[in-house]
Amino acid sequence: MFSPLPVRLLISFCLTFTSPAVYSQPDFSAFTKDPASIYGKEARYLVYRNNKEIGTHTVRFQRKAENLFVKVKSDLAVRYLGIPVYRYSYEADEVWEDGKFVSVESRIKENLKKRRIIKARVDGKVLEVTDQGKTRSAPLVRFPSNHWHPDVLRESRLFHTVHARVHHVKIRQVSNDKIQLQGVDSNGQKTTEVVRARRFAYTGGFLAEVWYDTRFRWIQLRFNADDGSEIEYRCITCTN
């Protein structure tokens, strides 16, 4: 996923700068090989279209010996007069070994279309990509386009798990923000918390904005879809 939605992304910045600001490179030393140290067993997000909830996005982590298994899942539905007019599901399984990306398989289902299966695995100095049964070699990358790992912010190319291709990107910090997040306390009651976050802009192969909190957790994503609608992912497990 860069977003799992199969759309051409269009950037929509909410701030205008008279001159480019300069920000220090984030210090990722606090982020270990085990993402549970900052996320727990899973991170959950609500997905919005034009500020209206349309679905959920979940990232789950499981460690076995030196391997880390990451399962990503999105279920989205756009409704008109209460009737679903668009459905989309996305699943991805990542494998990491000793902190390094090894492989990813994504499965995409849009409305009544046939499910699309995309696989990518590191093979020496190249990335072997299989899309709908056809295999080819692509430039080696260190990250797929799922945002949970903050070290992705150092990268200039990513494997897009929906487009089945390597995209060249430029990622830069554009502001320090305060983000209002929703959550749930130990009693099941909804909570609201304002957190400090760094906002980064993706340009190049795809365009979007992402936010990471002071613990380097991915807490928010925003982009514009083909129809001009604004899509947002907001973390609901990042308020503590």
Q: Is the pLDDT of residue 141 over 80?
A: yes
Q: Is the pLDDT of residue 35 over 80?
A: no
Most distant CA pair in the chain, distance: 52
The amino acid at 133: G
In a domain, 1, yes or no: no
Q: Is the pLDDT of residue 88 over 80?
A: yes
- Pair 197, 212: CB distance under 8 Å: yes
pLDDT for the residue numbered 27: 57
Number of structural domains the chain divides into: 1
- Pair 156, 143: CB distance under 8 Å: no
- Judged on CB neighbours under 10 Å (0-12, 13-18, 19+), 39 is buried
In a domain, 20, yes or no: no
In a domain, 18, yes or no: no
In a domain, 29, yes or no: no
Mean pLDDT over the full length of the chain: 86
pLDDT band at residue 11, thresholds of 50, 70 and 90?
A: very low
Q: Is the pLDDT of residue 28 over 90?
A: no
- CATH number of the domain that 210 lies in? 2.50.20
Report helix, strand or coil for 208.
Answer: strand
Q: Which residues, in sequence order, are CB contacts of 174 under 8 Å at separation 6+? A: 13, 15, 17, 21, 199, 200, 201, 209
Radius of gyration, alpha carbons of the chain: 18
Q: Which residues, in sequence order, are CB contacts of 20 under 8 Å at separation 6+? A: none
Q: Is the pLDDT of residue 24 over 70?
A: no
Domain membership of residue 186 as a residue range: 36-235
In a domain, 108, yes or no: yes
Cα distance between residue 235 and residue 133, in whole Å: 34
In a domain, 30, yes or no: no
Which tens digit of pLDDT belongs to each residue from 179-233?
A: 999 887 777 778 899 999 999 999 998 889 999 999 999 999 999 887 889 999 9
In a domain, 10, yes or no: no
Q: Is the pLDDT of residue 136 over 80?
A: yes
Which tens digit of pLDDT belongs to each residue from 71-84?
A: 999 999 999 888 88
Report helix, strand or coil for 37.
Answer: helix
Which tens digit of pLDDT belongs to each residue from 40-74?
A: 899 999 999 999 999 999 999 999 988 999 999 99
In a domain, 5, yes or no: no
Which tens digit of pLDDT belongs to each residue from 117-131?
A: 999 999 999 999 999
Q: What is the pTM of this model?
A: 0.85
pLDDT band at residue 23, thresholds of 50, 70 and 90?
A: low
Q: What number of residues does the chain have?
A: 240
Cα distance between residue 134 and residue 164, in whole Å: 11
pLDDT for the residue numbered 14: 34
